[in-house]
Copies of this chain bind each other. A is one copy, B any other.
Amino acid sequence: MYDRLKGFRDFYPGEMSARRETIDTLEETASRYGFREVGTPALEGTQMYVDKSGEEIVEELYAFEDRGGREVAMTPELTPTVARMVVQKQQELSKPIKWVSTRPFWRYEEPQQGRFREFYQTNVDIFGSSDPAADAEILAWAADALTGLGLTGEHFEFRVSHRDILGGLLESFDADVDTEAAIRAVDKSDKIEKAEYHGLLTDAGLSYDQAEQFDDLLAVDADDLDELITFADTDRVEAAVTNLQDVLAAAEDFGVREYCTLSLETARGLDYYTGVVFECFDSTGEVSRSIFGGGRYDDLIESFGGQPTPAVGVAPGHATLSLLCQRAGVWPEEELSTDYYVLQVGDTRPVAARVARDLRERGHVVESDVAGRSFGAQLDYADSINAETVVIVGEQDLENDELTIKDMESGDQTQVPVDEFPGDDDAPTYEDLG
């Protein structure tokens, strides 16, 4: 017997049907916003990730040398790949470019609840617009997708921040600050003690008083964001605050402001973000990790050798999303559904096959015996696949040119003429015929 690899999962049909329903909701929502599906490779040259994130990223990748001597990596995320694709067809693609896709990614990390070595994400990105409406459309898609799954504002919130407010504020202190280190500290702030957080900020170059002041500034209310402009008194912070206010105003127009909470302590780990960033959290706090996140990354395309192209995106991961849905009680039922089972008794395959074919042509899910099973075994199987209606095609019935239609929930059954089934009805059941 072979085992599957640690951190990898097999999805049997029940679980897969719930996952598929979730993926369909996310993708259909994206489709209604005009996001277009793209298909992307599972392998890329490793160098692309090294250039973006540094040599140490390789330790987290499934990276190897292929048989042609190329250093390749199983893609750990989509953003570099779609950035590469935008650069390759920059002239041909009309902007804004709005793309969506759902697929697995791979990272060599220690598995834990909601984190696997193979994990699935739906990525949604807009390239070619720096307008706050683009940020808001990403937030609106995410909110519509979650409410489409049955979640409400009781279950989730988007904690919204802005990278350039953080960077601009840090810059405005009279200190030699390592901005990246300070932002990494902010990113950790809700997971560590206050003293440790302030310690990390002082490590990054702030004095202890400055660290406290910075911490206080980040706690500002959405209505008082102008205080940050006054404090910093720099064009950079003014522009960043105005941009964040504009995004929140656009979110209001888009009908999703109610899901957004200002949370400047939210920094997002990834280095390539430049503007608004946000993370989705479980409002109840039951799922303590961030469910997923997104934000603006205006410099990536240019750093990949393309024309300067602003970009904003989000990527719900399905593992944490399913935790959220399960705890909110809206995860789809993990079960099979079947419209008809066509049960054969004796040598009745020609008629049974004809009936099954006619029902399938009407779009129904129909199974029939392909294993020469007994009446009882077929009925058990029909029950195991939750067949709604069983059509019994029996030798004796056929002598009278009849079929038996059985409602599986009630057990009621009735006879119908074989030539009249399925007839003109789109989906004939016992209720229609009994």
Contact = CB atoms under 8 A, between A and B. Distances in A.
A3 interface: yes
**How many A residues touch the partner, as a band?**
35 or more
A366 interface: yes
Which of A42, A81, A136, A304 has its CB near the most chain B CB atoms (within 10 A)? A42
A31 B365 contact: yes
Contacts of A19: 39
Contacts of A34: 338, 365-367, 385
A133 B384 contact: no
Given A1-B305, A42-B42, A304-B2, A94 B381 contact: yes
A5 B370 contact: no
A94 B31 CA distance: 36
A13 B32 contact: no
Interface in A118-135: 118, 126, 128-131, 133-134
Interface stretch (A64-72, A235-243, A276-284): A64-72
Which of A19, A253, A336 has its CB near the most chain B CB atoms (within 10 A)? A253
A40 B353 CA distance: 31
A191 interface: no
Contacts of A354: 255
A369 interface: yes
Interface stretch (A85-93, A169-177, A197-205, A288-296): A85-93
B43 A126 contact: no
Given A1-B88, A134-B370, A371-B131, A40 B95 contact: no
B131 A370 contact: yes
Contact of A118 (B43, B349, B366, B369): B43
Contacts of A413: none
A367 to B, nearest CB: 4
Interface string A1-37: 1111110111111011101100000000001111011
Given A19-B39, A37-B17, A41-B10, A74 B74 contact: yes
Nearest to A118: B41
B70 A5 contact: yes
* Number of this chain's copies in the complex: 2
Interface string A334-363: 001010000000000110011001001001
A357 B45 CA distance: 41
Contacts of A304: 1-2
A375 interface: no
A59 interface: yes
Given A17-B37, A108-B66, A360 B4 contact: no
A84 interface: yes
A7 to B, nearest CB: 9
B96 A133 contact: no
Contact of A5 (B72, B95, B357, B381): B72
Interface of A: 1-6, 8-13, 15-17, 19-20, 31-34, 36-45, 47-48, 59, 62, 64-68, 70, 72, 74, 80-81, 84-85, 87-89, 93-96, 98-99, 104, 106, 108, 118, 126, 128-131, 133-134, 136-137, 144, 250, 253-255, 304-306, 336, 338, 349-350, 353-354, 357, 360, 363-367, 369-372, 380-381, 384-385
27 contacts: A1-B306, A2-B44, A2-B87, A4-B84, A9-B39, A11-B38, A12-B89, A12-B93, A13-B99, A17-B37, A20-B37, A34-B367, A42-B74, A42-B118, A43-B62, A43-B74, A62-B66, A64-B65, A68-B108, A94-B380, A94-B381, A98-B367, A129-B372, A130-B371, A131-B372, A133-B370, A250-B349
| Across the A-B interface, the 9 shortest Cβ-Cβ residue pairs | A11-B39, A13-B36, A34-B367, A64-B64, A129-B371, A8-B41, A1-B305, A94-B384, A133-B370
Given A10-B41, A253-B353, 9 more contacts: A2-B44, A3-B45, A5-B41, A10-B81, A11-B39, A12-B38, A13-B37, A42-B42, A62-B66
